[in-house]
Amino acid sequence: MSTPYPTQSLDSSQYFDTFGDLLGRPWRGGLRLRDHKHLSSGNAIRPFPSGATALAIPLEQGRSRARPCVEPGQRVLKGEVIGVGDERNLWVHASSSGIVKAIAPVTVADRDAPVQAVHIATDGRDEWIARPTPGQPRTLAELADFSMRMGLAGLGGAGFPTGVKLAGAGLTDFLLINGAECEPFITCDDALMRERADMIVRAADFLADLLGAGRTLIGVEGNKPEAVRAVKQSITRAGSRLKVRRLPERYPAGGQPMLIRALCGRRLAPGQLPAAIGVQVLNVASLHALGRAVFAGEPLINRILTLTGSCAHPGNIEAPIGLAVRDLARFAGAETTDIHVGGPMMGRALDDARAVIGKTTGCLIYGARDWLPQPEPAGDCIRCNRCVDVCPMALQPMSLYAAVQDGQHRALKTLNLDACIECGACSLSCPARLPLRDSFRQGKRDLQS
* Binding-site sequence positions: 381, 384, 387, 391, 420, 423, 426, 430
Cα-to-chain-centroid distance, residue 124: 29
Q: Could you tell me which residues are annotated as the binding site for [4Fe-4S] cluster?
A: 381, 384, 387, 391, 420, 423, 426, 430
How many H helices and E strands in the chain? Answer: 14, 19
For 433-449, b/e burial (b = at least 16 CB within 10 A) is bbebbebbeebbeeeee
Inter-CA distances, 86 with 67, 119, 160, 280, 437, Å: 10, 22, 14, 22, 34
DSSP state of 153: B
In angstroms, the CA 326 to CA 314 distance is 15
Cα 429 to Cα 8: distance, rounded to the nearest angstrom: 6
Burial class (CB in 10 A: 0-12, 13-18, 19+), 171: exposed
Max CA separation in the chain (angstroms): 64
Is 295:199 a contact under the CB 8 Å cutoff?
yes
- Helix ranges (DSSP H) in 24-180: 140-149, 162-167
Nearest to 310 by CA among 365, 267, 269: 365
SS (H, E, C) 428-444: HHCCCCCCHHHHHHHHH
Is residue 126 within 8 Å of 50, Cβ to Cβ? yes
Tell me how far apart the terminal alpha carbons of the chain are, to the nearest angstrom. 45
How far apart are the C-alpha atoms of 5 and 153, rounded to whole Å? Answer: 30
Q: How many CA atoms lie within 13 A of 240 on its CB side?
A: 28
Phi then psi for residue 204, to 5 deg, are -65, -45
The CA-based angle 163-299-73, given to 5 degrees, is 120
